[in-house]
A and B are shown apart, each in its own frame.
Chain A
Amino acid sequence: MQVRFRLTPLRLLGGVVLLFALTIIGALLVAWSGVYSIAASRGHPGWLNDFLELGMRRSVQTNSALSPPDHLDLDDPSLVQLGAAHFRAGCAPCHAAPGEPINPIFEGMLPTPPRLEDYVDTWEDEDLHWIVYHGLQYAGMPAWSGADREDEVWAVVAFLRRLPELDREGFRALAGRTDLAPSSPETFVKEGRNAAGLTACARCHDDAERDIASSLAPRLSGQSAAYLKLTLEDYRANRRQSGIMEPVAAELTDDQIDQLADYFAGLSPRPPLKGDASDASEMGRDIAENGIPDRGVGACMSCHGGMAEETYPVLAGQSQTYLQNQLRLFRDGVRAETPQAELMSAVAARLEDSEIDAVSAYFAATTPVVRNTPTADTGGEL
């Protein structure tokens, strides 16, 4: 008996659907049966590795589109330094610092975190930014913890560009800034290596001996304890966004926050980093002292002159770069979550770029005053 089979378009379609259904059922069966071992120790076969690498690389290249903003220079030492300090605390545990081996614990990951000095040159700036900001699925690469803080990620990118040329000493000089005395064997045995860790503020900020390491970090000396405490608590509770500061604050206890706040509040404010207020533009001074009444901008000094609420920071003596960056974040609504930031964001939204630049330059060149709450004697004169 002969069966004649004629391939009609309808039968072809039916066959394709059947094949598709069988594939899905087969895949579900494989997953359900558990016969495939997902052990990291097993590794991937070479062909699978190549396939995954291709998918990852193309995905990053296709999705990344953000070029560095015009006001940013990736060779800026301040940017590189900030990136280095964050790399040491946030990236080096898995990717290893130059001249140091990857810790065996992290080496056991699949995929093994690559040594970045051999790897960064295969990526464009925007690709690196995209990876650091968004993270990578199934690779153990976490996303940036500061929501919308794409600006911070450029510091890491700037550092990664410098990474291939750094040796162990060069990196430590850039990232650590702490030359700690070797501890005694007794201390070593009890407390471990005396290394500057994640919570070492002076990696970026000022302390009693030294000024800030990066002009992107604020000076903390002379701020009120109330402001410093509020800031650290906001970072810790994810109310203020920063991929750099949130991980630091997350490590701190209430007592430690109080101690740090008191320490920095007790330091004398430093003189301006550059220039003198008389050199700053008249526009900057005018905005600071009188605001821009026609456009709804009040005088900065009413809140930031050291006479108002202790939770309002003193701005005099901060670096121009830091102030510009923060004003842009306020203006763009990135920093607007806390009551204080909401207030500032409403005002900063009315500023133009040239005004942000001018008023930042003015405060950067102004000598900070010691915080002072007026008494009955002074009558509250500014």
Chain B
Amino acid sequence: MAIVSRGFRGRPRAGGDRLPPGQYLVEDFPVLSAGPTPRVPADRWEFAIDTEAGETRRWSWEEFMALPQERPAVDIHCVTKWSKLDTHWEGVSLDVLFEDVESAAEYALVHSYGGYTTNLPVEDLLDGKAWIVHRYDGEELAPVHGGPARLLVPHLYFWKSAKWVRGIRLLNEDWPGFWESAGYHEYGDPWREQRYEGD
């Protein structure tokens, strides 16, 4: 005999098994901001990867746009508890950007125009798990959502998907980013509810 009958499961939550614990669904796209919105014209934009050996690989906007483009459709989860399903983006896989980068570093510190930073393991940027995106829902990415380009790492809480991304510094030691040094979790897995330091 089943100890817990199916009747005790209640109504399934909207979003079903795609909604991590503690999250609720939104249809709009909330904007959270830790500072003024940078306005970076494409002709002044560049993206760079700095290695632990001090080498730098740079892309201008034109060079970046000439790279193979992908169209990830993903669910995103904000640490402030909203989740949005089936978001559509266009951009370049980090696997493509790392192709010519020689590095054995385990840690990445992502930095943005405007000074924002966030840290994550390099392995979370590779193998089809992360992109630099410049279009959302068929349109150019708006500055309030991180345009001209933002990082997209949908398997981690969305503060890791740095808006206005400018570059990635590869490091041998983990270095906490903007929110990670002010109480938020260093990794931020929504499925393990890693919201705050120590979760």
Specify whether A and B are partners: no
